[in-house]
Structure 1
Amino acid sequence: MKSDPLSHRLYATHRNTLISYAHRLCGDKGVAEDLVHDAWLLFHRQNSAEILAPLSYLKTIIRNLLFDRRRRSAFESTTEAPFEQAIGNVEVTSVSPERDVAARQIMNRVMDAIDAMPERQGKAIRMYHFDGMKLREIAQELDISVALVHKLIADGVKICMQIRKEEP
């Protein structure tokens, strides 16, 4: 691990403040200390000279780590529970057959609209929304700028949202 005096000073100076912040978020002092430590390790691995507001950045890392921890905990509580218990926690929503058919029709119209879009725009939307790719990955794949990828997706989503609002 590289030596980074800035990250060490930042950690030493603001550790108590960060623990207090994390404690307010999660309500558990031990978890708060773990979050701050994990956040600092992630922060320390990066080039801190490029970060304009390191304390705010650390707080963002802490908050994101807490969200990840909660999400993982919720997932683990359902995957290790007996099926009957896990299914009891799932919200049951009954959809009428008419609403189901209407939703399928709208989805088909949205997919048709995506197919009718210019090739690059349709690809960008599919890569982003269906394949889960990041904007910079799509930009690299399509050999265009990230800003253009963002515009293509935003314009395409506007079209799709308009279709969803229309009556079937």
Structure 2
Amino acid sequence: MSDEFDDEYRQVRRFEAHRDHLRAVAFRMLGSTGEADDAVQEAWMRFARTDTADVENLRGWLTTVVSRICLNLLRSRRTRREEALDADLPLSAEPGAGDDPEAAAVMADSVGLALQVVLDSLGPAERLAFVLHDLFGVPFDRIAPILDRTPEAARQLASRARRRVRSGRPAPDVRRQKSVVDAFLAAAREGRFEDLLAVLDPDIVVVADAAAVATGFSGREVIGAETVAALFNGQARQAVAVLVDGTAGAMWAPGGDPRSVLAFTVIDGKVAGIDIVNDPEAIAALDLVAFGD
């Protein structure tokens, strides 16, 4: 009995050593202290049922477990159209800061309530990629399996989320996004350079994946409205507007088979960023939905 008790005690201590970290991750994912605690408790139950004796990086293993739980909760919440943000939560109640004043200051600065509001506007996949990579330093090759995507696709998700966070604004209504994307596509198709320029943010950034570069796109990153307008002017003739992971985008799908997807970041009525995805595996993992009439 004593040996069994000792084993259970060691298991509890192993988990508790990472509880604050897991709660911080879950809170950033979910924006709710109650849901964060539930997610951590579920992670504990999975940990208790699993033989982790050979797991070298237990913190990483547990982070993956709690991230999958949070992703499922975010997707479920999205279908229910629920708002789970703790609007009245004071910054001093941020989980994960512990008794370290420096850590508490960093947490309050970088992931305060204003940021939480913006995070709450992101799609589940974007939110997970950004939170894990930008806030907790998890590499994309570890994020990718959680999302069932390639590391490059995870990187692009985080990039889109980062642009939204830096703007300091929640995502606009998708119908308004679509009107901007439609204007972009129409100007591009018809070769109306000035109209195309008018819909682009002066500092627009276009990021292409390796597959797009391999098929002739002019580089991994293109910056500036005039350069981007020249690049797309007279192009995109067969592209159609679609929802890409819940935000307005476009795709080229000859014969109904998506070959290229453009994920747009729209800020203040301007296209501030475009991610071009040509990798077939990355496209297959995207949630592409046609706009209704």
TM category (shorter chain) comes to: 0.3 to 0.5
> Larger strand proportion, structure 1 or 2?
2
Name the larger-Rg structure.
1
